[in-house]
Amino acid sequence: LGNKITGALRSMANNTFVDEAVLDNCLKDIATALLQADINIKLVKQLRDNVKRAVQIEDMASGLNKRKVIEKAVFSELCSMLDPDTEPYELKKGRSNVVMFVGLQGNGKTTTCTKYAYANKRKGYRPAMICADTFRAGAFDQLKQNCTKAGIPFYGSYTETDPAAIAAAGVQRFREERYDLIIVDTSGRHKQEDALFEEMREIEEAVKPDCIVFVIDGSVGQAAYDQALAFKQTVPVGAVIVTKLDGHAKGGGALSAVAATDSPIIYIGTGEHIDEFEQFHTKSFVSRLLGLGDWTGFMDKITDVIPEDQQPELLEKLQGGVFTMRILYEQYANIMKMGPMGQIMSMIPGFGQDLIPKGAEQASQERMKHFMTMMDSMTDQELDAQDIKIFQEDGRLERIAQGSGRSMQEVAVLISEHKRMGQLWGKMKGLKMPGKGGGMSS
Ligand code: GDP
Ligand code: MG
């Protein structure tokens, strides 16, 4: 999607004379790209009209960067589409928050319930989970297994067949035991839709949730809008979680789901593992959708793995001063801690394609380890050098190569890699901490 939009913008920028027709053409290409990313057709049409209204032909003529003007308009239109103006439910300490999960079978509810419980457990809540899915064979076992792994108490039944009764009993028990986050997982049978919706209403009636989270598979595509709408019309959905945004999901369905439910996305799922769960940031998501790269998501990951008291120091380093070998070393060390490479790297502008070709995550992890070994053989002077020219001095490369058991050629590659990273790093200057508003990077 990003490439197509960039292409459309570039071809327009090449036109020295921009008039209505040229702009229309460009918007047509962008609309096609958005449709291919599975954004709902009605939304695309609306977006096209809005962008056109926002972009002033006169501005275009007056030497402003045309590409930037349109890019910005598309970006902010997509952002406002994802921003329903309603705040998500905030968990409250000191009372039992009941959160109910709904969505079609296979979309990732049970997995997501566990991730959600676990993420909040790490924030200091005491979560507990209830299996109100009596439709799918093995549903209770799956939830039990998830909960056991994550150390989360659970409730369910092998004999009771009424999901509303189980949900009510579970909530009552966990309220009495003073759990402050009670999560109700429901069934999401594919067929018999009327029965599913009836069941959902009964459970809602039985537990009176503080929030209903609609879970949708990010690869659902054009069907997302109608699916989301059907749920919203049955129960008061208050938040959305989009799953499976790892794989090749185009993500456009997610935008459509937000528009249909008028509810904010609170998290996204990026893998099957309990850790593969991220807080949602509109601007990051749109940046990624447009292929602009995503600094905010990257910063989130960094702030996740770096102890809080060290964060100001890191930011200071990022925002001022010289990108030394030592900073590169620390970044590699952090990245190694962060888990699946592909995930992280795809968030960094410029990295996605060039640094890590698809399927080469393993190899690049190896490469990074080698780089770190070489840096282990550097002196403090080399690690903290303000000018990379130091490595041109006699004997240094050779010494590093020998000390680390790598070739001189590899050391040279490391040094050019450092230069490239330094240039990328330069782009991060002026970046703010997540939550205080990131921004588009381009
Ligand atoms: P439910 O029927 O809605 O409860 O869905 P499940 O939680 O059972 O998930 C269905 C399948 O999707 C399982 O194989 C999960 O491991 C997988 N899954 C869930 N979330 C994600 C995700 O974010 N990424 C990937 N790759 N798989 C996921
Ligand atoms: Mg399930």
Q: Which tens digit of pLDDT belongs to each residue from 33-61? A: 788 777 888 888 988 888 888 877 666 65
In the predicted model, what is the mean pLDDT of residues 108-120? 96
Cα separation, 136 vs 130, whole angstroms:
15
Residue 30 has pLDDT above 70, yes or no: yes
Question: Could you list the residue range(s) of the whole structural domain that residue 51 is in?
Answer: 2-82
Which of 82, 112, 136 marks a domain boundary?
A: 82
In a domain, 90, yes or no: no
The fraction of the chain above a pLDDT of 70, given in percent, is 72
Q: How far is CA 426 from each of CA 320, 322, 392, 430, rounded to the nearest angstrom? A: 9, 9, 23, 9
- Of 299-303, 392-396, 424-428, least confident by mean pLDDT is 299-303
Handedness of CA 378, 380, 381, 387 (dihedral sign): positive
Q: What mean pLDDT do residues 387-397 have?
A: 89
* Residue 107 shares a structural domain with residue 196: yes
Measured between alpha carbons, how far is 57 from 70 in angstroms, rounded to an integer?
11
> Could you report the predicted ipTM of this complex, rounded to two decimals?
0.99
Q: Indicate whether 126 and 250 sit together in one domain.
A: yes
Of the given ranges (25-34, 331-340, 374-383), which has the lowest mean pLDDT? 331-340
Which ligand 1 atom is at minimum distance from the Cα of 115? Answer: 20
Pocket test for ligand 1, best of 104, 107, 111, 267 (most atoms within 8 A of CB): 111
Scanning 235-324, the segments in alpha helix (DSSP H) are: 252-261, 282-289, 295-305, 311-319
- Closest ligand 1 atom, CA of 215? 3
Question: What is the distance between the alpha carbons of residues 163 and 134, in angstroms, rounded to a whole number?
Answer: 6
Indicate the pLDDT class of residue 440, thresholds 50, 70 and 90. Answer: very low
Any idea which of 251-260, 303-312, 339-348 has the lowest mean pLDDT?
339-348
105 lines ligand 1 (CB under 6 A): yes
Do 407 and 401 touch, CB atoms closer than 8 A? yes
Query: Rounded to the nearest whole angstrom, what is the distance from the C-alpha of residue 107 to the centroid of ligand 1?
Result: 6
**How much is the average pLDDT of 210-216?**
96
* Statement: residue 14 has pLDDT above 70: no
Estimate to the nearest angstrom the gap between the alpha carbon of 25 and the chain centroid.
31
Alpha helices in 307-360 (DSSP H): 311-319, 325-338, 341-345
- More confident site: 163 or 63: 163
Closest ligand by atom to 241 CA? 1
Please count the helices (runs of H) and the strands (runs of E) in the chain: 20, 8
CB 215 within 8 A of CB 241: yes
* Ligand number, closest to the Cα atom of 106: 1
Question: Do 438 and 296 form a contact (C-beta atoms < 8 A)?
Answer: yes
Structurally, the chain folds into a number of domains equal to: 3
- Are 182 and 245 members of one domain? yes
Secondary structure letter of residue 369 according to DSSP: H
Q: Of 25, 59, 82, which one is at a domain's C-terminal end?
A: 82
Distance 152 CA to ligand 1 centre (A): 19
- The tens digit of pLDDT for each residue in 243-273 reads 998 766 667 777 788 888 989 999 999 889 9
The amino acid at 355? L
Helix (H, G, I), strand (E, B) or coil at 427: coil
Question: How remote is the CA of residue 219 from the centroid of ligand 1, in Å?
Answer: 12
CATH code of the domain in which 335 resides: 1.10.260.30
DSSP string, 117-179: HHHHHHTT--EEEEEE--SSTTHHHHHHHHHHHHT--EE--SS---HHHHHHHHHHHHHHTT-
CA 119 to CA 268: how far, in whole Å? 12
Average pLDDT on 70-88 reads 81
Residue 125 Cα to ligand 2 middle (Å): 23
Q: Are residues 242 and 364 in the same domain?
A: no
Indicate the pTM of the whole model.
0.68
Residue 211 and residue 129 share a domain: yes
CA dihedral angle for residue 114, residue 180, residue 237, residue 158, rounded to 10 degrees: 50
| Residue 127 Cβ < 6 Å to ligand 1 | no
Does 210 share its domain with 341?
no
Residue 112 Cα to ligand 2 middle (Å): 9
Cα–Cα separations (whole angstroms), residue 237 to 128, 130, 133, 229, 325: 21, 19, 19, 10, 49
pLDDT averaged over the chain?
80
The more confident residue out of 332 and 172 is 172
CA of 104, closest atom in ligand 1: 3
343 lines ligand 1 (CB under 6 A): no
pLDDT band at 86 (very low <50, low <70, confident <90, very high): confident
Within a domain: 92: no
Taking the mean position of all CA atoms in its chain, how far away is CA 351?
A: 16
Give yes or no: residues 19 and 66 share one domain: yes
Token pair for residue 100? 């109910």
* 323 three-class SS: coil
Kindly indicate the confidence band of residue 180, based on its pLDDT and cuts at 50, 70 and 90. Answer: very high
Instruction: Say if residue 232 is in the same domain as residue 365.
Output: no
Judgement on whether residues 313 and 417 belong to the same structural domain of the protein: yes
- DSSP 8-state symbol, 89: P
Q: Whose alpha carbon is nearest atom 5 of ligand 1?
A: 108
**Does residue 401 surpass a pLDDT of 50?**
yes
Q: Is 269 in the pocket of ligand 1 (CB under 6 A)?
A: yes
How much is the average pLDDT of 397-421? 90
Domain identity same for 179 and 72: no
In-domain check, residue 210:
yes
**Residue 337 maps to a domain:** yes
CA of 243 to the centre of ligand 1 (A): 7
Q: Which two tokens stand for residue 435?
A: 């939550």
Output 366 or 67, whichever has higher pLDDT.
366
- Within a domain: residue 431? no
> What average pLDDT score do residues 301-313 get?
55
Residue bearing the bigger pLDDT, 101 or 426: 101
Ligand 1 centroid, distance to 142 Cα (angstroms): 11
- Among the candidates 229, 263, 289, a domain finishes at 289
Q: What is the CATH number of the domain that holds 235?
A: 3.40.50.300
Q: How far apart are the first and last CA of the chain?
A: 15
- DSSP state letters, 25-88: HHHHHHHHHHHHTT--HHHHHHHHHHHHHHS-HHHHHTTS-HHHHHHHHHHHHHHHHH--S-PP
In this predicted structure, the answer to whether residue 339 has a pLDDT above a threshold of 70 is no
218 Cβ inside 6 Å of ligand 1:
no
CA of 106 to the centre of ligand 2 (A): 7
Does residue 130 carry a pLDDT above 90?
Answer: yes
One domain, residues 220 and 144: yes
Closest by CA position to 227, among listed 269, 259, 187: 259
Distances (CA, A) of 127 to 146, 153, 208: 13, 7, 17
Given a cut of 80, whether residue 135 has pLDDT beyond it is yes
- In short, whether 264's Cβ falls inside 6 Å of ligand 1 is no
CATH number of the structural domain spanning residue 13: 1.20.120.140
Residues 111 and 220 in one domain: yes
CB of residue 278 inside a 6 A radius of ligand 1: no
**Is the C-beta atom of 272 inside 6 A of ligand 1?**
yes
